[in-house]
């Protein structure tokens, strides 16, 4: 039986490194424990300081009396004895007290937990996830900073310094589009006199140069002048200002215009600048579908969609309890099965998968090397039927429902998409330019996909098909099924699909990729290429 396959098909190489939500939850409790440890350290420090103060007060009284008349003071033998005792013993005790370090327990606790802390890459991934959500769902920086997200029940705000760090992350990646949005938000909150550690000069420095990179010279000049007014000795501002003014003057001369074009007084916001194009040609269509826009579900098409009981061509295991089948799309035909997984099965599958979840990888079609990719951000694991009766039962159910053998299918893949997790438009099947994608399996191409939704998602996370404008939303316990290949074995290019970024919540899915071999009599060839 084939194990698993990451094909170069679905990939052109993609939050926190997308930590599993369960792992993120563990970090919440870890932070709580560290706060408690910190409080205990503060209490110990205060107790130590109180003891030192007590010593100081007592010794202050003694030294005040002794220094008034040192000889008279020492004339009393008890005072002479106590002076010797204090300097020989008590001051040593005080020294030991001062040298005590109550931080040992806190530092030890930090050391134990630090191995589980996110690293710099995780923080950068989390920032990129916010930007990804910002783009896909057209959310402005103000909405994020104020915590105004759809479906959110918890308030979470971004400070000036948070916004600055977001902008700096984008800037360091040469992503000037997002650098502008977040530096502008930091500046906006600064101008509203919110508390901050970062200086306004630093914000203006990054913002002005990023605006210049976006091609807006008048605004870059205006922002740089603000920077010079705040810090006339800034090492780059003067040079940048002269360069920007010279560049603008040259542009105006080439256009035969006189005088400097004034900077617009409109504040920078989402839509002020066009997001640069990237490697994904259908990005706008894909993101619109994720927002629920552009879905081509017409009244006429809806009239062709039905629901029915499905017994798998009188399969004995489905006769007494047939599956509830609903049409999601007419052509290509996509169906959803209700109650495909029980809550108990879902929990067992998650329990088996969690210890093995790792960042999902894809195979680079050029190098053939498995790698993580920005367009696929999730954690995944693979489960064999022999591992647990639940997995064997799920595999058998998929076979009963589809009428296709799963003996040549890949293992059951479990994936978890945290906030910002996604899988951009891709094909499940191997295309002609990738003839060797599944060669090692010896089972042919991926003829069909069976996708189980193992959680509801509060916002985002839809499965969308940009070619024909369909959006299918996760519903816990249901499954969707479609064919990737026509009966002729030719790929159905309409099935290019994507998993939209999760905006709120966590998305769990499991999928079975069913291959061609063994289906010869279960799904025989048609008479034409597109049957």
pLDDT bin (cut points 50, 70, 90) of residue 15 is: very low
Per-residue pLDDT at 153: 63
pLDDT in tens, 501-529: 999 888 999 999 999 999 999 999 988 88
Mean predicted confidence (pLDDT) in 90-98: 88
Cα Rg of the chain, angstroms: 33
* Entry field: residues in the chain: 531
| CA torsion through residues 461, 465, 469, 471, sign | negative
d(C-alpha 523, C-alpha 481), whole Å: 15
Mean predicted confidence (pLDDT) in 177-191: 96
Per-residue pLDDT at 126: 85
SS3 504: strand
Cα-to-chain-centroid distance, residue 388: 31
Identify the CATH class of 120-255.
Answer: mainly alpha
Model pTM above 0.85: no
Per-residue pLDDT at 366: 45
User: Tell me, what DSSP letter sits at residue 373?
Assistant: B
List CB contacts of 495: < 8 A, sequence separation 6 or more. 332, 427, 428, 429, 449, 465, 467, 482, 483, 484
Of 163, 136, 124, the C-alpha closest to 289 is 136
* Domain definitions of the chain by residue range: 21-115, 120-255, 283-515
**Is there a contact between 375 and 11 (Cβ–Cβ < 8 Å)?**
yes
Give me the residue label for tokens 């690293």. 119
Mean predicted confidence (pLDDT) in 21-37: 83
pLDDT in tens, 306-355: 999 999 999 999 999 999 999 999 999 999 999 999 999 999 999 999 88
Strand stretches in 26-82, DSSP E: none
**Residue 510, H or E segment:** strand 507-515
User: Tell me, what DSSP letter sits at residue 356?
Assistant: G
pLDDT in tens, 32-67: 999 999 999 999 999 999 999 999 999 999 999 999
Give exposure, 352-368, as e/b (b: 16+ Cβ within 10 Å).
Answer: bbeeebebbbbbbbeee
pLDDT bin (cut points 50, 70, 90) of residue 7 is: very low
SS3 471: strand
d(C-alpha 44, C-alpha 141), whole Å: 42
- Between 3.30.420.40, 2.60.120.620, 3.30.70.3270, 3.20.20.140, what CATH number should domain 283-515 receive? 2.60.120.620
CB atoms within 10 A of CB 187: 23
pLDDT in tens, 353-395: 988 887 555 545 444 444 555 544 567 899 999 999 999 999 9
Report the alpha-carbon angle 515-518-523, nearest 5.
Answer: 85
Per-residue pLDDT at 373: 54
Mean predicted confidence (pLDDT) in 65-89: 85
Percentage of the chain lying above the pLDDT 70 cut: 89
Per-residue pLDDT at 511: 97
d(C-alpha 437, C-alpha 433), whole Å: 9
Give me the residue label for tokens 């951009």. 424
Per-residue pLDDT at 270: 81
Per-residue pLDDT at 6: 44
d(C-alpha 184, C-alpha 167), whole Å: 9
What DSSP string describes 28-41? Answer: HHHHHHHHHHHHHH
Domains 120-255 and 283-515 share a fold: no
Integer angstrom CA distances of residue 349 from 5, 13, 451: 20, 28, 14
Per-residue pLDDT at 14: 36
pLDDT bin (cut points 50, 70, 90) of residue 75 is: confident
In Å, the largest CA–CA distance within the chain is: 123
d(C-alpha 371, C-alpha 295), whole Å: 33
List CB contacts of 62: < 8 A, sequence separation 6 or more. 86
Is it the case that residue 452 has pLDDT exceeding 90?
Answer: yes
Is it the case that residue 219 has pLDDT exceeding 50?
Answer: yes
d(C-alpha 292, C-alpha 290), whole Å: 5
Edge-to-edge strands, sheet with 497-499:
376-377, 422-426, 497-499, 463-465, 470-472
d(C-alpha 122, C-alpha 210), whole Å: 24
**Is there a contact between 490 and 431 (Cβ–Cβ < 8 Å)?**
no
d(C-alpha 507, C-alpha 148), whole Å: 21
List CB contacts of 528: < 8 A, sequence separation 6 or more. 488
Of 223, 424, 183, 400, the C-alpha closest to 312 is 400
Is it the case that residue 18 has pLDDT exceeding 60?
Answer: no
Is it the case that residue 13 has pLDDT exceeding 80?
Answer: no
List CB contacts of 355: < 8 A, sequence separation 6 or more. none
CB atoms within 10 A of CB 129: 22
d(C-alpha 214, C-alpha 220), whole Å: 9
Per-residue pLDDT at 40: 92
Average pLDDT value over all residues in the chain: 88
Torsion (CA) 137, 141, 145, 150 in degrees, nearest 10: -20
Mean predicted confidence (pLDDT) in 221-235: 92
Mean predicted confidence (pLDDT) in 298-302: 94
pLDDT bin (cut points 50, 70, 90) of residue 120 is: confident
Of 311, 295, 305, 314, the C-alpha closest to 335 is 305
In this structure, what token pair is assigned to residue 30? 């870890």
Per-residue pLDDT at 295: 94
Is it the case that residue 119 has pLDDT exceeding 90?
Answer: no
In this structure, what token pair is assigned to residue 317? 């295991």
Per-residue pLDDT at 483: 98
Of 31, 232, 210, the C-alpha closest to 117 is 31
């Amino acid at each position: 039986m084939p194990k698993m396959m990451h094909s170069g098909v679905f990939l052109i190489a993609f939050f926190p490194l997308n930590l599993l939500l369960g792992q993120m939850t563990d970090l919440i409790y870890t932070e709580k424990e560290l706060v408690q440890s910190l409080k205990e350290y503060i209490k110990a420090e205060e107790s130590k300081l109180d003891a030192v103060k007590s010593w100081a007060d007592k010794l202050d009284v003694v030294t005040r009396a002794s220094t008034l008349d040192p000889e008279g003071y020492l004339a009393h033998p008890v005072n002479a004895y106590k002076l010797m005792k204090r300097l020989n013993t008590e001051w040593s005790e005080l020294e030991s007290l001062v040298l005590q370090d109550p931080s040992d327990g806190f530092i030890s606790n930090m050391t134990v937990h630090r191995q589980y802390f996110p690293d710099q890459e995780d923080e950068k991934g989390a920032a990129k996830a916010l930007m990804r959500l910002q783009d896909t769902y057209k959310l402005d920086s103000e909405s994020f900073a104020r915590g105004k997200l759809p479906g959110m029940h918890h308030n979470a705000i971004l400070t000036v310094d948070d916004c600055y760090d977001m902008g700096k992350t984008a800037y360091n990646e040469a992503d000037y589009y997002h650098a502008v949005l977040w530096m502008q938000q930091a500046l906006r909150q600064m101008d509203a006199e919110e508390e901050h550690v970062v200086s306004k000069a630093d914000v203006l420095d990054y913002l002005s140069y990023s605006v210049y990179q976006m091609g807006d010279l008048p605004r870059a000049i205006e922002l740089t002048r603000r920077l010079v007014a705040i810090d006339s000795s800034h090492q780059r501002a003067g040079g940048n200002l002269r360069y920007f003014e010279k560049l603008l003057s040259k542009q105006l001369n080439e256009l035969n215009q006189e005088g400097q074009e004034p900077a617009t007084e409109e504040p920078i916001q989402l839509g002020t600048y066009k997001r640069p194009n990237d490697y994904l040609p259908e990005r706008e269509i894909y993101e619109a579908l994720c927002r629920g826009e552009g879905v081509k579900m017409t009244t006429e098409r809806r009239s062709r969609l039905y629901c029915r009981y499905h017994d798998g061509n009188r399969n004995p295991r489905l006769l007494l309890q047939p599956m509830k089948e609903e049409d999601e799309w007419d052509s290509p035909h996509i169906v959803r099965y209700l109650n495909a997984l029980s809550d108990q099965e879902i929990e067992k599958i998650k329990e088996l998968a969690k210890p093995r979840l790792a960042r999902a990888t894809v195979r680079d079609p050029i190098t053939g090397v498995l790698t993580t990719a920005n367009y696929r951000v999730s954690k995944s694991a693979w489960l064999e039927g022999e591992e647990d009766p639940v997995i064997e039962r799920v595999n058998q159910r998929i076979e009963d429902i589809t009428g296709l053998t799963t003996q040549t299918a890949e293992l059951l893949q479990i994936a978890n998409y945290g906030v910002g997790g996604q899988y951009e438009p891709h094909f499940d099947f191997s295309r002609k330019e990738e003839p060797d994608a599944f060669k090692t399996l010896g089972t042919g191409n991926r003829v069909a996909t069976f996708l189980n939704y193992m959680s509801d998602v509060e916002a985002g996370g839809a499965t969308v098909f940009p070619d024909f404008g369909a959006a299918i939303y996760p519903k816990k316990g249901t499954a969707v099924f479609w064919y990737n290949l026509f009966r002729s074995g030719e790929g159905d290019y309409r099935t290019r699909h994507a998993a939209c970024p999760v905006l709120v919540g966590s998305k769990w899915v499991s999928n079975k990729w069913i291959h061609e071999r063994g289906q010869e009599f279960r799904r025989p060839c048609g008479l034409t290429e597109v049957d």
